[in-house]
Structure 1
């Protein structure tokens, strides 16, 4: 079934079409949700919440862009809503207003696999991780991230800068010890 026919059937609340859409995007979207949560169980909860929103609002998809990108945005927003609502995340999601010096744009002389980078991002403090995911991974602007998290654009910039600096430091430290990375290239 083509995408437009699938969307039409989902608008009609056809369970088979909804299942097909879910099966097509669930694995990818679970990865998105997991980047924002602290464990797979929370990520699965967010995935379910997100797909309820997808099916509820699929008639609003206007075919201006890819369906996967539209679903991804819903998953990111659902993830942010989830971490804002749950107290265990609220304690960790702290953003500090600070002024920083410009971070060096030098790249470490090391090649890491995507899984290694994902693990390093997950080791960041939760606020840094959230900002880095929004800006560095999802491609949102600082203005968009600030609005989504109800923080200032300057806070978004400073948190991203600190997250990036922390990642560079982690990569540089670990690159001098390649045995720390089983997938070191």
Structure 2
């Protein structure tokens, strides 16, 4: 059955179609959530809540993007809301879920480990960390980040630039042993 047919059946509250979509996207969305929240149980909770929200709001899905992209935005927003509600200062990134997108001016000095990159991202202030993670890890563009974070595109660009500068400085300090 095609994805659009499943979505249309979900709009009619077809439980079997909902289960098929859930099974199709559950693991991928769990990977997205794991990049934001600290542990598997919290990530599972966010994903479950996101699917509930998605099925409750399925009428809002117009097919302008894939269902997966639409659902991913719901999951990302759920993760950010979860972190804000828990007032968490760190985001644990599991290596098996980490996929940094290509970016022209992004490179890491030789000898910097993935653990050091993860630690440096975790130490960024929230307003920079979320934008850096959405852009570099999740692959969102500034327009999408602006919508997710409820900020302007200019603010997204500025926060990314400042976050990357802080991240690079932190990694440089780490590479040359000048950090704490």
> C-alpha offsets along residues 71-97 of structure 1, whole Å, 9 cap, x if unaligned?
11111122222223x2433xx38xxxx
In the alignment, does 2:67 pair up with 1:67? yes
In the alignment, does 2:87 pair up with 1:88? yes
Check 1:144–1:121 CA distance in 2 against 1; reply closer, same or farther (3 A cut): farther
For residue 138 of structure 1, what is the aligned residue in structure 2? 139
Check 1:64–1:88 CA distance in 2 against 1; reply closer, same or farther (3 A cut): closer
Q: CA RMSD in A?
A: 3.5
In the alignment, does 2:56 pair up with 1:56? yes
**TM-score, normalization by structure 2:** 0.67
| 1:109, distance to aligned residue in structure 2 (A) | 5.4
Name the larger-Rg structure: 1
| 1:30, distance to aligned residue in structure 2 (A) | 1.2
For residue 37 of structure 2, what is the aligned residue in structure 1? 37
| 1:116, distance to aligned residue in structure 2 (A) | 6.2
For residue 100 of structure 1, what is the aligned residue in structure 2? none
> C-alpha offsets along residues 38-57 of structure 1, whole Å, 9 cap, x if unaligned?
22222111111110111111
CA distance in 1, matches of 2:22, 2:117: 24
Check 1:122–1:18 CA distance in 2 against 1; reply closer, same or farther (3 A cut): farther
> C-alpha offsets along residues 114-173 of structure 1, whole Å, 9 cap, x if unaligned?
x769845654436133121223333231x6545644567666445423432344356667
CA distance in 1, matches of 2:168, 2:54: 36
Check 1:146–1:62 CA distance in 2 against 1; reply closer, same or farther (3 A cut): closer
CA distance in 1, matches of 2:29, 2:174: 29
Consecutive unaligned residues of structure 2, counting only runs of 5 or more, are: 91-104
Name the SS for the 1:72 alignment partner. Answer: helix
Check 1:166–1:116 CA distance in 2 against 1; reply closer, same or farther (3 A cut): same
For residue 96 of structure 2, what is the aligned residue in structure 1? none
CA distance in 2, matches of 1:118, 1:33: 19
